Structure 1
């Protein structure tokens, strides 16, 4: 064998060794990734099963469109307040607890948990405003609740615009808890190309890691430890579920359709609004526009975050009592 040929043989041998080592490294990495994914998936399944056994039911289930919707009723006041949650609130009846505690001595407080929230079933029905509003109304009708003040947080402000126009003889007033306005919506449209990877992320259990790395949104707020533990369970139960993801896909359309709507001129409206919204300087002006033609409307600016009812329940309750006294 010539010297040149010997060099070529050594090169090929070295190349095969390097390739073999690289393939082993790649295989080891793939196996490690698969083992990690399998561990996360298994841990999620075991934890979910354990959490289901520790879930403490609350409220009552009512039949709506062939499914079960959870409704919590507390207090025995003559005036009824119906509370609707913001998007993605894991357990609305527990999340609203500080405000309910303040209101229930004076009002009958009804928290409706739409499909996909709290203890309510999920649904395959499209999450259009029309469907959501119809379902909430059906739940209230089944409980013979037909005269009330409607109060909504965040995106429920969009649904409530439709609701108060659909059922003007039932809604005595609307109260917004930093409620969304139709003119301020996300620029990006969410569709299946966004939600499909999120479903995989959730189904494999990676949402638990996300939550583990996130800060506690209830830290330092007036929630007892038992309530916080239950909310924590419901966050893991309902986070990124199919019903809520479908609602996200309809969000842009629901906002656009709401642009055609306004509060009835004679409907009393009280808006609690955060004074300094970090995302836009139009938050306060757009809320002002919403009530400019109302004959009985008021806006209360608050030095608080978006979930202002968590941090300022007493202040909100006192103002609501003052506002509703004027309705009588």
Structure 2
């Protein structure tokens, strides 16, 4: 019996030692990788001083009209994520991609990520760039911030374009922020991505750009800004329920049929937002939530037609 207990104790200690070494190795590899990647992240765009911090912005194209692009939640690099869409829009418009604090190459911030603060910062950025008239175009959560924005700056915004955008009455799930941050800080998030690279949603871009998106994903994953944004989801959605799109503002929503299948009343909820709008429509494309990855040409073509047809109303 003593011999058996001794063997079991040795086996248990061996297993525990292996686990400790494994966990420590994952943690150390992640630290070293993070340090190395800092020097490999390539600069792009330009910095704008907003609320005492640096906000990164890319401006491309020389068109007379301006389109401002806002990202969905947690996008590692809005500039690189919107690359296919910018390519399609920039021959006809001046395209401005804003990377909110905590995204892309912008600074992080400890200021609460309420819709009001986010809207204030985006507007300050555009003011600093001397951009006075523009179409606001956003993906996913930008539908909530965009609704707040157009109500505050109706005289500046000429149209709103939503890419499978969030709506105030949709159900919102709470993210386990602390657990996900621990997963990231421990290095296991990097390990999971290494084992299953396809879980990182990326546009169809070259390998070098994909590598940059991957490094920025590890750098920005649930940083202070994104963690605060997740904590403010419910309040931001609830506060948006009091708002309506301005009657004279042209609105177009591009929805993904996969999201329609997964989310109850997805299309009707968007149609409800257009009830009191003079110029609005909903277009459904086959594809997933990231339509700007797969339908950038179709979206750009329809945007050109929509904005042209509604130019008088603006």
Give the TM-score range, shorter chain: over 0.9
Backbone CA RMSD of aligned residues: 1.7
Q: 1:325 and 2:308 equivalent?
A: yes
Bigger drift between 38-47 and 221-230 goes to 221-230
CA contact (8 A) 2:202 2:210 kept: no
Which residue of the partner structure matches residue 286 of structure 2? Answer: 303
Q: Hey, what does 1:287 align to over in structure 2?
A: 270
Residue range with higher mean Cα deviation, 141-150 or 78-87: 141-150
Which residue does the alignment assign to 1:92? 78
Long gaps (5+) in structure 2: none
Structure 1 stretch 205-214 or stretch 17-26: which is displaced more?
17-26
Match in the other structure for 1:67: 53
Matches within 5 A, 1:187-198: 188-190=173-175, 194-198=176-180
Q: Secondary structure of the residue that 1:229 maps to in structure 2? A: helix
- Higher alpha-carbon Rg: 1
In 1, distance between residues paired with 2:224 and 2:23?
Answer: 21
Instruction: Say which SS state the counterpart of residue 175 (structure 1) adopts.
Output: strand
C-alpha contact 1:275 1:284 (8 A) present in aligned 2? no
- Residues 1:236 and 2:222 aligned together: no
1:183 pairs with 2:169: yes
8 Å contact kept, 2:27–2:186: yes
Task: Indicate conservation of the 8 Å contact 1:127/1:243, yes or no.
Answer: yes
**CA apart distance, 1:276:** 3.8
Correspondence 1:22-33 to 2 at 5 A? 22-33=8-19
Hey, what's the Cα distance between the residues in 2 that align with 1:283 and 1:255? 15
Distance 1:214 1:252, change over 3 A: farther
Tell me whether 1:122 sits opposite 2:108 in the alignment: yes
The residue that corresponds to 2:93 in the other structure is: 107
Cα 1:138/1:207, change in 2 over 3 Å: same
Unaligned runs of 5+ in 1: 1-13
Residue of structure 1 equivalent to 2:32: 46
Looking at structure 2, the residues matched to 107 and 54 of structure 1 have their Cα atoms a distance apart, in angstroms, of 31
Residue deviations 1:185-230 (CA, integer Å, cap 9, x gap): 22x434xxx3222222111111111212335268895312222221
Question: What is the number of equivalent residue pairs in this alignment?
Answer: 310
Q: CA deviation at 1:18?
A: 4.1
CA contact (8 A) 2:279 2:310 kept: no
Question: Which residue of structure 2 lines up, in the alignment, with residue 260 of structure 1?
Answer: 242
Deviation at 1:314, TM superposition (A): 0.7
Give me the whole-angstrom Cα distance separating, in 1, the residues matched to 2:209 and 2:85: 14
TM-score by length of 1: 0.90
Asked if structure 2 preserves the Cα contact closer than 8 Å seen for 1:86 and 1:153, the reply is yes
Query: Counterparts of 2:298 and 2:310 in 1: how far apart (Å)?
Result: 19
1:216-231 alignment to 2 at 5 Å?
Answer: 216=198, 222-231=204-213
Kindly provide the CA deviation profile for residues 70-101 of structure 1, in whole angstroms up to 9, marking residues without a partner as x.
11110111100000000111100011000000
